[in-house]
Amino acid sequence: MQCRVIDSHTGGEPTRTIVSEVPFIGGSVAARLAMMREQFDFLRTALIHEPRGSEVMVGAVVLPAIDPKNTAGVIFFNNAGYLGMCGHGTIGVVETLRWLGRLQPGRHCFETCVGEVQAILHEDRRVTLENVASYRVASNCPIRLADGLLLSADISYGGNYFALLDVSHTDWLDRPAGYLIDRATEILGLVQKQYPQVDHIELFGPAVSRDNDSRSFVLCPGHQYDRSPCGTGTSAKLACLAADGELAPGQRWLQESFIGSVFEASYEWLDKASKQIRPSVSARAFVNGDLQLVVDPEDPFCWGIPSRP
Ligand code: PYC
Protein backbone atom coordinates (compact mmCIF):
# COMPACT_ATOMS: atom_id res chain seq x y z
CA MET A 1 0.00 0.00 0.00
CA GLN A 2 1.37 3.42 -1.01
CA CYS A 3 0.38 6.14 1.43
CA ARG A 4 2.23 9.45 1.58
CA VAL A 5 1.60 11.83 4.46
CA ILE A 6 2.93 15.35 4.98
CA ASP A 7 3.45 16.68 8.51
CA SER A 8 3.00 20.34 9.36
CA HIS A 9 2.29 22.41 12.43
CA THR A 10 0.23 25.54 12.96
CA GLY A 11 1.16 27.45 16.10
CA GLY A 12 2.81 24.28 17.45
CA GLU A 13 -0.19 21.99 16.85
CA PRO A 14 0.61 19.20 14.37
CA THR A 15 -1.42 18.18 11.32
CA ARG A 16 -0.59 14.92 9.52
CA THR A 17 -2.17 15.07 6.05
CA ILE A 18 -2.72 12.04 3.79
CA VAL A 19 -2.03 13.26 0.27
CA SER A 20 -2.22 9.90 -1.57
CA GLU A 21 -5.45 8.79 -3.17
CA VAL A 22 -7.72 6.97 -0.72
CA PRO A 23 -10.40 4.39 -1.53
CA PHE A 24 -13.38 6.22 0.06
CA ILE A 25 -14.95 7.87 -2.97
CA GLY A 26 -18.39 9.26 -3.78
CA GLY A 27 -20.91 11.16 -1.73
CA SER A 28 -20.55 14.09 0.61
CA VAL A 29 -17.59 14.52 2.95
CA ALA A 30 -19.87 13.30 5.77
CA ALA A 31 -20.67 10.13 3.75
CA ARG A 32 -16.98 9.54 3.01
CA LEU A 33 -16.15 10.12 6.68
CA ALA A 34 -18.71 7.43 7.60
CA MET A 35 -17.04 5.06 5.09
CA MET A 36 -13.59 5.81 6.50
CA ARG A 37 -14.84 5.25 10.05
CA GLU A 38 -16.51 1.94 9.17
CA GLN A 39 -14.01 0.40 6.75
CA PHE A 40 -10.69 2.27 6.90
CA ASP A 41 -10.32 3.36 10.51
CA PHE A 42 -6.98 1.48 10.56
CA LEU A 43 -5.53 4.40 8.56
CA ARG A 44 -6.47 6.80 11.37
CA THR A 45 -5.04 4.56 14.09
CA ALA A 46 -1.88 3.79 12.08
CA LEU A 47 -1.12 7.51 11.63
CA ILE A 48 -2.29 8.99 14.92
CA HIS A 49 -1.78 6.33 17.56
CA GLU A 50 1.66 5.53 18.96
CA PRO A 51 4.23 4.34 17.97
CA ARG A 52 3.97 6.33 14.67
CA GLY A 53 1.80 9.15 15.97
CA SER A 54 1.01 10.84 19.25
CA GLU A 55 -2.02 11.90 21.28
CA VAL A 56 -1.59 15.53 20.26
CA MET A 57 -1.65 14.91 16.51
CA VAL A 58 -4.58 15.78 14.24
CA GLY A 59 -4.87 13.92 10.93
CA ALA A 60 -6.44 15.06 7.67
CA VAL A 61 -7.33 13.33 4.40
CA VAL A 62 -7.51 15.45 1.27
CA LEU A 63 -10.27 14.20 -1.05
CA PRO A 64 -11.47 15.23 -4.51
CA ALA A 65 -14.16 17.92 -4.15
CA ILE A 66 -17.74 16.94 -4.94
CA ASP A 67 -18.47 20.38 -6.39
CA PRO A 68 -15.99 21.10 -9.22
CA LYS A 69 -15.80 24.79 -8.22
CA ASN A 70 -14.24 23.74 -4.89
CA THR A 71 -10.58 22.94 -4.25
CA ALA A 72 -10.91 19.74 -2.20
CA GLY A 73 -12.80 17.93 0.51
CA VAL A 74 -11.16 17.28 3.91
CA ILE A 75 -11.81 14.81 6.71
CA PHE A 76 -10.18 15.55 10.08
CA PHE A 77 -9.44 12.97 12.78
CA ASN A 78 -7.51 12.51 16.01
CA ASN A 79 -6.68 9.88 18.63
CA ALA A 80 -10.32 9.77 19.79
CA GLY A 81 -12.09 9.63 16.41
CA TYR A 82 -13.29 12.17 13.85
CA LEU A 83 -13.63 15.98 14.09
CA GLY A 84 -16.33 18.17 12.50
CA MET A 85 -13.91 20.91 11.55
CA CYS A 86 -10.38 21.86 12.47
CA GLY A 87 -9.04 25.39 12.13
CA HIS A 88 -5.33 24.82 12.66
CA GLY A 89 -5.71 21.67 10.52
CA THR A 90 -7.25 23.58 7.58
CA ILE A 91 -4.35 26.05 7.70
CA GLY A 92 -1.94 23.08 7.83
CA VAL A 93 -3.63 21.41 4.84
CA VAL A 94 -3.42 24.64 2.80
CA GLU A 95 0.29 25.01 3.57
CA THR A 96 0.82 21.32 2.76
CA LEU A 97 -0.85 21.70 -0.65
CA ARG A 98 1.15 24.88 -1.31
CA TRP A 99 4.40 23.10 -0.35
CA LEU A 100 3.52 20.28 -2.77
CA GLY A 101 2.95 22.86 -5.55
CA ARG A 102 -0.76 21.94 -5.71
CA LEU A 103 -2.10 25.32 -4.52
CA GLN A 104 -1.36 28.89 -5.58
CA PRO A 105 -2.05 32.07 -3.59
CA GLY A 106 -5.71 33.05 -3.74
CA ARG A 107 -9.09 31.99 -2.40
CA HIS A 108 -9.88 28.28 -2.08
CA CYS A 109 -13.03 26.51 -0.97
CA PHE A 110 -12.85 23.29 1.04
CA GLU A 111 -15.71 20.89 1.73
CA THR A 112 -15.80 19.59 5.31
CA CYS A 113 -18.37 17.40 7.00
CA VAL A 114 -19.89 20.50 8.71
CA GLY A 115 -20.02 22.63 5.56
CA GLU A 116 -17.86 24.61 3.17
CA VAL A 117 -15.04 26.82 4.47
CA GLN A 118 -12.97 29.32 2.54
CA ALA A 119 -9.21 29.61 2.90
CA ILE A 120 -7.20 32.50 1.49
CA LEU A 121 -3.56 31.66 0.83
CA HIS A 122 -1.63 34.95 0.94
CA GLU A 123 1.59 35.69 -0.97
CA ASP A 124 3.54 35.69 2.33
CA ARG A 125 2.23 32.13 3.03
CA ARG A 126 -0.13 33.21 5.78
CA VAL A 127 -3.54 31.60 5.54
CA THR A 128 -6.88 33.16 6.48
CA LEU A 129 -9.63 30.68 7.23
CA GLU A 130 -13.21 31.91 6.83
CA ASN A 131 -14.95 29.40 9.00
CA VAL A 132 -18.48 27.99 9.11
CA ALA A 133 -21.26 30.05 10.73
CA SER A 134 -20.53 30.25 14.45
CA TYR A 135 -22.87 31.10 17.32
CA ARG A 136 -23.31 30.93 21.07
CA VAL A 137 -25.73 28.25 22.23
CA ALA A 138 -26.07 29.19 25.93
CA SER A 139 -24.46 31.61 28.38
CA ASN A 140 -23.61 31.67 32.08
CA CYS A 141 -24.23 27.97 32.79
CA PRO A 142 -23.18 27.26 36.40
CA ILE A 143 -20.56 24.50 36.80
CA ARG A 144 -19.88 23.31 40.37
CA LEU A 145 -16.64 21.30 40.68
CA ALA A 146 -16.09 18.49 43.21
CA ASP A 147 -13.97 20.80 45.41
CA GLY A 148 -16.85 23.31 45.60
CA LEU A 149 -15.43 25.86 43.11
CA LEU A 150 -18.24 27.47 41.09
CA LEU A 151 -17.48 28.44 37.49
CA SER A 152 -19.64 29.77 34.69
CA ALA A 153 -19.62 28.33 31.16
CA ASP A 154 -20.73 29.64 27.79
CA ILE A 155 -21.58 26.96 25.23
CA SER A 156 -20.61 27.96 21.73
CA TYR A 157 -20.22 26.46 18.25
CA GLY A 158 -17.29 27.29 15.93
CA GLY A 159 -17.19 24.11 13.78
CA ASN A 160 -16.94 22.02 16.97
CA TYR A 161 -18.86 22.54 20.23
CA PHE A 162 -17.02 24.23 23.10
CA ALA A 163 -17.67 25.14 26.70
CA LEU A 164 -15.73 28.33 27.44
CA LEU A 165 -14.91 29.26 31.03
CA ASP A 166 -13.16 32.34 32.41
CA VAL A 167 -10.55 31.14 34.93
CA SER A 168 -8.77 34.48 35.33
CA HIS A 169 -9.64 34.57 39.07
CA THR A 170 -7.67 31.31 39.59
CA ASP A 171 -3.96 30.48 39.16
CA TRP A 172 -4.79 27.62 36.77
CA LEU A 173 -3.14 29.06 33.65
CA ASP A 174 0.17 29.34 35.59
CA ARG A 175 0.08 25.64 36.42
CA PRO A 176 1.47 22.70 34.39
CA ALA A 177 -0.58 21.33 31.49
CA GLY A 178 -1.34 18.07 33.35
CA TYR A 179 -3.20 20.01 36.06
CA LEU A 180 -5.31 21.81 33.45
CA ILE A 181 -6.03 18.56 31.60
CA ASP A 182 -7.42 17.09 34.85
CA ARG A 183 -9.50 20.19 35.66
CA ALA A 184 -10.84 20.52 32.11
CA THR A 185 -11.67 16.78 32.01
CA GLU A 186 -13.75 17.14 35.18
CA ILE A 187 -15.52 20.18 33.66
CA LEU A 188 -16.16 18.26 30.41
CA GLY A 189 -17.93 15.47 32.33
CA LEU A 190 -20.18 18.02 34.09
CA VAL A 191 -20.94 20.02 30.93
CA GLN A 192 -21.80 16.91 28.89
CA LYS A 193 -24.62 16.01 31.33
CA GLN A 194 -26.53 18.99 29.92
CA TYR A 195 -24.78 19.54 26.56
CA PRO A 196 -23.65 16.13 25.24
CA GLN A 197 -22.54 17.69 21.96
CA VAL A 198 -19.71 19.59 23.70
CA ASP A 199 -16.37 17.83 23.26
CA HIS A 200 -13.87 20.69 23.71
CA ILE A 201 -13.25 22.77 26.85
CA GLU A 202 -11.68 26.22 26.54
CA LEU A 203 -10.32 27.84 29.72
CA PHE A 204 -9.31 31.45 29.26
CA GLY A 205 -7.67 34.32 31.10
CA PRO A 206 -5.37 37.28 30.47
CA ALA A 207 -2.69 36.96 27.79
CA VAL A 208 0.96 36.69 28.81
CA SER A 209 2.00 39.15 26.08
CA ARG A 210 0.51 42.63 26.36
CA ASP A 211 0.10 42.55 22.55
CA ASN A 212 -2.54 39.83 22.77
CA ASP A 213 -6.18 39.94 23.91
CA SER A 214 -6.62 36.62 25.69
CA ARG A 215 -4.85 33.36 26.48
CA SER A 216 -6.58 30.00 26.30
CA PHE A 217 -6.05 26.37 27.17
CA VAL A 218 -8.13 24.07 24.96
CA LEU A 219 -8.80 20.47 25.94
CA CYS A 220 -9.44 18.32 22.84
CA PRO A 221 -11.63 15.18 22.69
CA GLY A 222 -8.61 12.84 23.01
CA HIS A 223 -7.73 14.44 26.39
CA GLN A 224 -4.75 16.31 25.07
CA TYR A 225 -4.51 20.07 24.83
CA ASP A 226 -4.24 22.10 21.64
CA ARG A 227 -0.78 23.66 21.33
CA SER A 228 -2.26 26.27 18.99
CA PRO A 229 -4.94 28.80 20.01
CA CYS A 230 -7.44 26.44 18.26
CA GLY A 231 -9.16 27.76 15.15
CA THR A 232 -12.63 26.43 15.94
CA GLY A 233 -12.16 27.43 19.60
CA THR A 234 -11.20 30.99 18.60
CA SER A 235 -14.31 31.04 16.36
CA ALA A 236 -16.48 29.92 19.30
CA LYS A 237 -14.88 32.63 21.47
CA LEU A 238 -15.59 35.33 18.84
CA ALA A 239 -19.25 34.22 18.75
CA CYS A 240 -19.45 34.89 22.52
CA LEU A 241 -17.67 38.25 22.24
CA ALA A 242 -19.99 39.27 19.38
CA ALA A 243 -23.12 38.17 21.27
CA ASP A 244 -22.01 40.19 24.33
CA GLY A 245 -21.15 43.27 22.22
CA GLU A 246 -17.52 43.08 23.42
CA LEU A 247 -15.94 42.97 19.94
CA ALA A 248 -17.11 44.93 16.90
CA PRO A 249 -17.29 43.31 13.45
CA GLY A 250 -13.93 43.68 11.69
CA GLN A 251 -12.09 44.43 14.95
CA ARG A 252 -8.88 42.41 15.37
CA TRP A 253 -8.65 39.82 18.18
CA LEU A 254 -5.30 38.18 19.04
CA GLN A 255 -5.78 34.81 20.72
CA GLU A 256 -2.74 33.40 22.52
CA SER A 257 -2.35 29.66 23.09
CA PHE A 258 -1.11 27.95 26.25
CA ILE A 259 2.38 27.73 24.65
CA GLY A 260 2.32 31.36 23.45
CA SER A 261 1.51 30.97 19.74
CA VAL A 262 -1.01 33.45 18.36
CA PHE A 263 -3.95 33.42 15.92
CA GLU A 264 -5.27 36.71 14.54
CA ALA A 265 -9.06 36.73 14.25
CA SER A 266 -12.06 38.91 13.42
CA TYR A 267 -15.67 38.36 12.38
CA GLU A 268 -18.53 39.65 10.29
CA TRP A 269 -22.21 39.29 11.11
CA LEU A 270 -24.09 36.66 9.11
CA ASP A 271 -27.34 37.29 10.94
CA LYS A 272 -27.40 39.87 13.71
CA ALA A 273 -30.84 38.83 14.97
CA SER A 274 -29.75 35.24 15.67
CA LYS A 275 -26.19 36.43 16.48
CA GLN A 276 -24.57 34.19 13.88
CA ILE A 277 -21.13 35.27 12.77
CA ARG A 278 -18.57 34.32 10.11
CA PRO A 279 -15.18 34.18 11.90
CA SER A 280 -11.87 34.68 10.09
CA VAL A 281 -8.75 33.17 11.62
CA SER A 282 -5.25 33.87 10.25
CA ALA A 283 -1.97 32.09 10.93
CA ARG A 284 0.96 30.48 9.21
CA ALA A 285 1.74 26.75 9.15
CA PHE A 286 5.08 25.06 8.49
CA VAL A 287 5.73 21.72 6.78
CA ASN A 288 8.14 19.65 8.87
CA GLY A 289 7.95 16.10 7.50
CA ASP A 290 7.28 13.98 4.43
CA LEU A 291 6.52 10.37 5.29
CA GLN A 292 5.84 7.17 3.40
CA LEU A 293 3.76 4.78 5.48
CA VAL A 294 5.51 1.41 5.98
CA VAL A 295 3.34 -1.45 7.21
CA ASP A 296 5.39 -4.49 8.22
CA PRO A 297 3.02 -7.50 8.66
CA GLU A 298 5.36 -8.83 11.37
CA ASP A 299 4.95 -5.63 13.40
CA PRO A 300 2.18 -6.20 16.01
CA PHE A 301 1.70 -2.41 16.25
CA CYS A 302 1.83 -1.58 12.51
CA TRP A 303 -1.75 -0.20 12.78
CA GLY A 304 -1.02 1.64 16.04
CA ILE A 305 -1.31 0.71 19.70
CA PRO A 306 -5.04 0.46 20.51
CA SER A 307 -6.39 3.23 22.76
CA ARG A 308 -5.90 2.63 26.46
CA PRO A 309 -9.17 1.99 28.28
O1 PYC B 1 -7.75 24.38 15.43
O2 PYC B 1 -9.90 23.96 15.35
C3 PYC B 1 -8.76 23.69 15.69
C4 PYC B 1 -8.55 22.43 16.45
C5 PYC B 1 -9.50 21.55 16.87
C6 PYC B 1 -8.83 20.53 17.54
C7 PYC B 1 -7.48 20.81 17.51
N8 PYC B 1 -7.33 21.98 16.83
- Alpha-helical regions (H) of the chain: 29-39, 41-48, 87-99, 177-194, 231-243
107-113 average pLDDT score: 97
pLDDT by residue (tens digit) across 236-284? 999 999 999 999 999 999 999 999 999 999 999 999 999 999 999 999 9
With vertex at residue 233, the alpha carbon angle to CA 24 and CA 212, rounded to the nearest 5 degrees, is 135
Q: Which residues line ligand 1 (CB under 6 A)?
A: 13, 58, 86-88, 220, 226, 228, 230-232
pLDDT by residue (tens digit) across 12-69? 999 999 999 998 878 899 999 999 999 999 999 999 999 999 999 999 999 999 999 9
**Does residue 184 contact residue 233 with C-beta atoms inside 8 Å?**
no
Q: Which residues are catalytic, by number?
A: 86, 230
**Alpha-carbon dihedral of residues 70, 112, 218, 130, nearest 10 degrees?**
30
Task: Check: pTM over 0.95? Answer yes or no.
Answer: yes
- Mutational pocket test of ligand 1: of 9, 57, 216, 232, the residue with most ligand atoms within 8 Å of the beta carbon: 232
